[in-house]
Structures are given as C-alpha cells and as structure tokens.
Amino acid sequence: MPRVLTIPSSAPFLPTLATALLDGTLVEGFAPRADPLALAGATVFLPTRRAGRLFAEALLQASGGAVLLLPKIVPLGDVDEDALAFSEDAPVLAAPHAIAPVHRRLVLARLVAHWRDTLAKAAGREAVAAGTAATFALADALGALFDDLTTAGLTVDGLDGLVPEELDRYFRVGLDFVRIARRAFTDYLDIAGLVEPAARRDALVDAEARRLAALGSDAGPVIAAGSTGSMPATARLLAAIASLPKGAVVLPGLDQDLDAASFARITDGRDAAPDHPQYGLARLLPRLGVARGDVLSLAAPTAFGRERLMSEVMRQAETSDLWASLSDRLPSAALGTAMAGISVVEADDPRAEALAIALLLRDSLEREGETAALVTPDRDLARRVAAEMARFGVALDDSAGTPLADSPAGRLAGLLVMAAAEDLAPVPLFALLTHPLAQFGLASEADAVAALELVALRGPRPRAGIDGLRDAIAAFDREDFRGADPRRRMGEGALNRARDLVDRLDRALGPLLTLGAQRGVAPLSALVAAHRAAWVETAGPLDIDAEDAAEAALARTFETLDGAAGDGPALDLSAYADAAGALFADAMVRPRAEPHARIRILGPLEARLIHVDRMVLGALIEGSWPRIAETDPWLSRPMRGDLGLDLPERRIGLSAHDFVQGFGAAEVVLTFAAKVGGTQSVPSRFVQRLKTVAGEAEWTAARTRGARWVRAARRLDDAPAVPRATRPAPAPPLALRPRRLSVTEVETFLRDPYSIYARHVLGLIPLDPLDAAPGGAERGSALHEAIGRFTQDHPRKLPPDALEQLLEEGRRAFAPLKAFPAEHALWWARFERAAGFLVAFERERRGHLDHVVAEASGSLEIPLGGGAFRLTGRADRIEVRRDGLLNILDYKTGTAPSARQVASLSPQLPLEAAMARRGAFPDVPAMDVADLLYVELKGGAAGGEEKPIRLKDRDTMDLAETALAGLESLLMAFENEAQGYRSLAAPQWSGTFGTYDHLARVREWALSGEEGE
C-alpha cells in the first residue's frame, strides 16, 4: 500500500519530519540515526528552496549536533510551485528550456497590442483598454490562461463552441484572438527552441516520476513533504513517490477529525466545495491510492491542539447545520482550551494594525528563546510591520523578499527612465540626483547636486532637456545675484560643479533623451540598451554575481531583456517608462534564510512548514485574506467551468488551508483593521466562522486579550504634555540687528517684526519649491519689467505707436513664461487689456508733466544713537511735474492698500515721498510730492484702475513726514536690546500664515484664541 502520512498543524512540521526520518518512522526499514552515512542515500522533496535550507537545520538539531551527510533536498517549487528543478541527470533538463517570464510577457504584449490596434481600426474607436499598463495586464492574463490550459492538458481545439450566441460579441472576438495567439505563440516557441514554463514544469515533474518509478527499490528512500498536490503534475509525482517501496508522502494538516460523510462531500460532484481548506487534499488522496483512514499521523496533536476546532470552523456550508450539536464533538472544556491561546486584535486602521503587530513581535523577544512570526498575504502590511520594527532596532527575516522595483537598485532604474521620459523635469530629476546609488562617477556629488538644485531646479521650471539645464546655469551666471541673496551666494567653483554634473547627466541619459526626442516609437531593444547604459553611467557596472542581491537581480533582468526585447512591442519613451514596472515585476530580491531567526515574516505557503511559538495572522479582511477572485478578461466563469479549469473558489480554498495551518502555534493572534483606505472593511469570512463556532463568551475573551495590544499601540507615541508655545520675541544684540531695510520691508517690520529678525538677523531666505508654477510674483515682475523699459525709452513724450511698443516690451518680458502655456495665455490676455489702459492713462497725464523717471532707486540715511540706518527704495514711477512738484506712483497686480492702511501700516509711498523731498533719488530733483497714486493692473474688463491716496485732514507731505517720524521712532525703539522682534505684532489678515510663521510656531500659540503671553 502507498505510504502516506500527515503531520497535524499543532506539531512543528520540519522538526517532526526530521525526527521521523532519523528514527525510522518515516520510511520503514530506514533508520539513519544509527548510521549517519545512510542518510546521504535519501531524497527529500519540499515545497520551496527556503524550506529545504531550514529542513537541513532541523536535521542537525534532531541529531543532537552530530556530524551528518545530508540527504538530497530538492525543491518541488518556489513559493507557488511554478519553478521546478530536479536531478541533473534527468534527460528533460536539456533544451528546449522554458521561456523566461519577462520574455513571454514581451511576446504576448506584442500580440495583444497588434490585436487591440486591429480592433480599433475596424471599429473606428478604441474597443479594448489602451495604454501600456493595460497591454501588459492583458498579456499577463493571457499567459496565465495559457498556463491553465497547459496544466489541464487542453489544446486550442478545446476552445471551440465555448461562446453561446446569446453572449456579448466581445467574448467571441476575444476567444478568436486567444486561439490565434495560442497558435502564434506555439509557433514562435518552436522556432526559438523554447517551451512554455508550465509545459517545462510538467515535463520535469513527469520525467522525475518516471525515473523514480523505473528505479523502484533502487531509488532509495524518497520522501515528499509539505505539498498538497494542487497541480496535476505534482499530484502525479506524489503518487509515484508514495508507491515506491521506500517512498513516503507527508501531507500538511490532513483533517482527521471531520466526520467521514462531511469529508466525502467536499469533493462530491455538484456539492463539491473548492473553497474548503481540505479540498486539495481530499482530491489528492484518491490519486495517491489511499483512503483518509489509511493515512498515519507522525505526531499527536499537542495539548492546546486546535485541529478539532478548526475542522468545525471550516466545515462545508451544506453541513454547517451540525454546529447545533457542536458540544457532542467539541465539549466546552476542549473549546476553552483551544481558544485560550487565541487573541483577536481589532485595530482602527492598517497603521495601527502594523504597530500592534510590531509590539507583539517585539514582546516575543523579551521572552528567552520564544519565536514569533507574522503570516500575511498583504505585502503592504508586511512592509509596515518591518518599518515599525525598525524603530526597535530589529531587522526581520522576511521570506517573501522585496520586489526588484522596490529595492534601491530597482528604484534607481525606475527614476532614470522616469526623469528621461519627463525631459528632466525638476521633481523626477531631483529624486534621481538624490538617490544614494546615483554617483555619476563622482566621489561625492552632494555639492554639485546642491548647486544645480538652487540654480535650476527650484522656482519656475527651466526649458526641457539637458540644454535647458545648461541655459539655467548660464542665465544664473549672467545675473548678479551673489551677495544680494544669501540663498545664491555661491562661487564659480559651485557653478562649475553644477556644469560638470549636467555633463555627466548628458552622458548617462543622453541616449534615452535622444530616443524620447524622436517623438515616436522606438525598438524596445534600443530602449533597453539605453536604459542599461544609463544605469551603468550613473551607478557603475552591473554584475550578475554582485554581492548586493538587488544589483545582481537587476543585472539578470537586463540580461534577459537584452535577449528578449527584439520580440517585444515598439514603444515611445513615456510608454517604456510606464512599462518598466511590469518588466521588472517578476524579479524578487530575497534574503538568505536565517535558521535561527526568532522573528520572521512568512508567506502563507512557507508558514505551513515553519513552527513558531507565537503566530500572528494579519490582514484578515475580505479582499486580502482571502483575496478577491480576479476576473479572467479572456474567459468568463462559465467558459472556464466548461473547460474544466479551476474556478476562483479554488484559490479561496488554498487561502483557507493556509489560515487553518496557522493555528498550530501555541499562541495565535488574529489581526485586522476596521477601516482600510478610509472605508469600512469586512472581517475575513474565516474569522467570522471562528467567531460563530467559538461563541460569544470565548470570542469576547479573545478580543479582550487582543485589546491590550491595541491600547499599547495607541500609547506608544504618547508623550508628556508640553507647555504651549508662547509668542516669540527674540532680542538679539544690537550689533546683529539690521542697519538697512527697503521701504517695502517697513510694512513687514510694522506688522511682523519676527520676519525681519528671521530674514536679516538669522539670514534665512526661503527656497522656492521644486518646479514651482509661476505665480503672482512672476507675473508682477514681467509686468513691471515691460512698463519700466517702455517708460525709460519714452520719459517725456509718447510715440504714436505707443501701444504697439508697450506690447512688444511685454512680449519680451513675458517670453520666459511660455514654458507654462496655460499661465502665459491667461496672463498675456490680462496684460493686453492692462496695456490699453496704461497707454490711455499715459496720454491723459503726460500733458502736465515735464518728464517721468521709471524704476528710480534711492536711499536715505537716518541717524540713530547706535549708528546710521539706511532706508532704500525703488519707486516704480516718479513724475516730475511742470509746477515744481512730484507725483509718485506704484503699480499693483493685486489689490492696493487703502488710504487708511497707507496712513498706518502700509507706508511705502509716504516714505518714498519723504525720501524724494530729501533728494534721496539721484535721478529726481529734491521736491515736495503732490500726489501719491496706486495703479491696479489686474487686467480685468477695464484693464486697470487709479487709486489715489488722499486723506481729508492731511496733505501728502504731512503724511510723508508722519510716516518717516514713525519709522524713526520704531528704529529707536529697537536700539534698545530689550526690545524683541515680536511675531505678528499687527497681522493684516487673521488666519493667514507667512513665510516664517512655522519658525515662530504661530499655529501653536495663535489658533487657540490665546496668545500665550
């Protein structure tokens, strides 16, 4: 009789297997404990390579540390049993070899793209989702369908007659394409000397089964353990091993408690339950030639064993009426014992769930020798937990590894092509430049990056491409910013480093940028070659034998792409950037197994075989565990059923089996988040079944045990109460206080002295955002530049074509804003209206004027006790009248202050008038000022509006002298070192915040309605 055994979920799988193998209870007549050399003649098949490494460690521990010759340990598969490898003398290991996954993805994507384009031309519109991502998604789904057909042994002819006439035409069109694509892909593989991965896998499995059957007793002890035989080929291999004279198959967690009638019903025709955790094993037993009663257990369930509990919890829905008599099969004492070690953590959201799990895992480290693991199919949760554990300085052994695209090397590869696809736009370029691996051949590139950032990346976007960066550096070098702006105080050396970095960027990204500049599709092989060359120029050579696992994986992926790109679709650079994630999707960067690791993150498959003291089953919500059944875009559910392919419920059954196996630990913690993505989640159906069977009392106790971890997570970031910040008023020494301000800064001095302190005492100049869209400042600068040049060209009389000349000046001033088409179009239309208003305004005023001085700069020295203070100003327009008086005008693209505001806290124009009386403007004679005038140029329907500054009880010069006296009084007050620079002394608008308010912690002391004085 075939030898088939099982290990209950509560017994440690690999240690139990190792002990049984050494003691002779696994294979009759084979007890290598007495003869360690005999162990080398055995072969052990395990589901994954990682499980094989851990089994070797388990054998060493079971032997008591004795010297052993290990058996041949062979992986049945890797994670999902898709990649099989067997003994080197198997004849099927010769060519043809399986096509690489990324190679197959490219070939199928090319077929899908051609089919989609053909449909679009025939229909006159897009008939199938377009775009690179959709193309690769359909290609992946097509590849999965081909795998299913190969696994089921179906040919293209089996697809005939699947689509009834009453179904939508899309299914017939799609099925026709599947037939064509299947034949075309098969022909391609024949020409290339390759085979499909599923065909190669099945050939390897069947060849190994034939080899073992032919050897018979000469095969030596052969054991297959941990597999459920979910694939037909694997089931055939297990059957061959079980039938060997010295063969044995060890099943994980076969349910030996469920009554015979219910167990038989799991696979019984129409009542079959593919979503049951025992469905795969129930189907496997007949293939192995044994009944459930013939299966022996290698270990007894432990005292806390939950096998009977979970058997009832996962009972088929059609037999759930037997829960009414549950106490006959599971007495309350046994139920209490089984539930005693179970805790339920109901977190508020995924972050709280991850933090609670991290505390659970960290707690296990406090107990000597205790081991713990998180098991979850949700990689986002796994990454969150790993990040939370990092705060405790604990690195986790994560069996799933990291997707290549999420590794440092993979991220750099993605940033390279993204920066090139966006023509070196500041944000993706800055991300590329600051990546730790991006060295560009420099010993240290930090200074060069900082210089280029300030010169070209902050503020409005430079012109696209490498030339745009060079132009930005050249424009900066021509302008005299150094010394005027602390942010830009850099010497020629810094600019040279920025130029050198741009040259290196050109060498690295030049080929990609050239392909992008073609504005059309390019061969995929050219894109891949340019992409790889960019990585090498940026970070150094790529080596498949590199010590860094991620760089080695990236090198292998590029090598595969180099060979396969000729069969892929032609893409433009933007589409290639979108496709990069899919092209790197299959590669995983996995750390080596740590046999002695006490804390792990495990995938559900691997968790079957690894025993820990505390098992955390995370992300137990619908859509995560089990996952939502994905719809096949090529075959409908009835069509798959008619073909005999697995339905989506089969995956639910596999998830259910993994869930049940997780209850083998002494302590089990179930966790889920009440809300995910801001919406209410639904607890997993498995959790809801357990809640029903456990009863309200036991479930409440489990929730109570878990609640303390939720409370601990909430309190982890608690901190002692901190006294509320008070309104700051720093008082620096007199020697550090500013001795020079402009008239526009006086308003800031009056309203918010702290801003003057931050800018002029601390020297803090805010940086522009990266890739900042132009705002009011850029519009105002362009408008002032255009008006200033026009006025300087015509200080006395206007030309006949004044409007045309003003518009021409505007075109030159607004030219840099053409990089932002939407803003330029809006602002230019406003400027045209404002220009019409200005010309009419000028013609009306020029008759009373001698001449006009535009952009008049001047300064006035104010004597103080501790030394002179210099007040500077730059008047937009000073009019010299024929009657010996002056007018001072200021252009505003926003709202001008009112007369009362000018008289109190906005004294710019009165101070300019006081300066003009004293001859502070070299190009303007010292005269009194008759009128102060704001000219709003918003570019509305009227184009502009005059706003004269007039007060009933005060003339202009009285207003000017009062403003100057007030400034002198203010300056004298700050000559006292006890006088601090108070934050928001007289803010203009309540609730708005300025450039330095975060430093003054305004939100802490102002928003509560109290000022914390």
pLDDT per residue over 377-394, tens digit each?
898 999 899 989 988 888
Of 203 and 507, the structure prediction assigns the larger pLDDT to 507
| Torsion sign (Cα): 181, 187, 189, 195 | positive
Question: Which residue carries 């060997």 as its tokens?
Answer: 244
Q: How many CB atoms lie within 10 A of CB 256?
A: 17
Asked if pLDDT for residue 914 goes beyond 60, the answer is yes
Residue range 549-585, pLDDT digits in tens: 889 989 999 998 888 888 888 888 988 998 887 788 7
Q: Distance of CA 134 to CAs 111, 117, 636, 657, Å?
A: 13, 13, 19, 33
**Residue-level pLDDT at 193:** 87
pLDDT for residue 248:
94
For helices 776-793 and 802-814, give the axis angle rounded to 10 degrees. 140
pLDDT at 94 > cutoff 70: no
Residues in the chain: 1013
pLDDT given for residue 546 in this prediction:
84
- The pLDDT value recorded for residue 127 is 57
Distance between CA 274 and CA 655 in Å, rounded?
11
| Residue 491 pLDDT exceeds 80 | no
How much is the pLDDT for 180? Answer: 87
CA-only gyration radius of the chain, Å: 39
pLDDT of residue 268: 86
The string over 563-581, giving b where at least 16 C-beta atoms fall within 10 Å of a residue's C-beta and e elsewhere, is: ebbebbbbbbbebbbbbbb
**DSSP-assigned letters across all residues of 58-117:** HHHHHTTT----PPEEEES-STTT-S----TT-GGGSSSEEPPHHHHHHHHHHHHHHHHH
Q: In what order do the strands lie in the sheet with 599-602?
A: 342-347, 667-673, 614-617, 372-375, 599-602, 397-398
**8 A C-beta contact, residue 407 and residue 550:** yes
Largest Cα–Cα distance in the chain? 125
User: Do the beta carbons of residue 786 and residue 806 sit within 8 Å?
Assistant: yes
**Helix H or strand E encompassing 878:** strand 867-881
The answer to whether the beta carbons of residues 985 and 752 sit under 8 Å apart is: yes
**Mean pLDDT lowest for which of 118-122, 492-496, 712-716, 857-861?**
118-122
Q: What is the pLDDT of residue 483?
A: 42
More confidently predicted of 813 and 206: 813
Higher pLDDT, 174 or 883: 883
H or E element at residue 247: strand 247-252
Q: pLDDT, tens digit, for every residue of 338-378?
A: 999 999 999 999 999 999 999 999 999 999 989 999 999 89
Per-residue confidence at 433, pLDDT binned at 50, 70, 90?
very high
Single-letter residue type at 419: A
Average pLDDT of the chain? 86
pLDDT value of residue 772: 79
Q: Is the dihedral of CA 1002, 1004, 1009, 1011 positive or negative?
A: negative
If one compares 528 and 167, the residue with the highest pLDDT of the two is 528
In the prediction, which pLDDT does 394 show? Answer: 85
Minimum mean pLDDT range among 474-488, 718-732, 858-872, 892-906: 474-488
Q: What is the pLDDT of residues 799-831, one digit of tens each?
A: 999 999 999 999 999 987 877 777 888 889 999
Tell me the torsion sign for CA atoms 662, 402, 110, 182: negative
Q: Closest by alpha carbon to 948, among 999, 896, 908, 911? A: 896
State the amino acid at position 625 in one-letter form: W
3-state per-residue secondary structure call for 291-303:
CHHHCEECCCCCC
- Check pLDDT > 90 for residue 759: yes
Q: How far is CA 649 from CA 274, 641, 763, in A?
A: 6, 12, 66
The answer to whether the CB of 138 falls within 8 A of the CB of 130 is no
Share of the chain above pLDDT 90, in %: 45
Does the predicted model carry a pTM greater than 0.75?
A: yes
Mean pLDDT score, 265-287: 88
Q: How confident is the model at residue 86 (pLDDT cuts 50, 70, 90)?
A: very low
Span 317-322, average pLDDT? 89
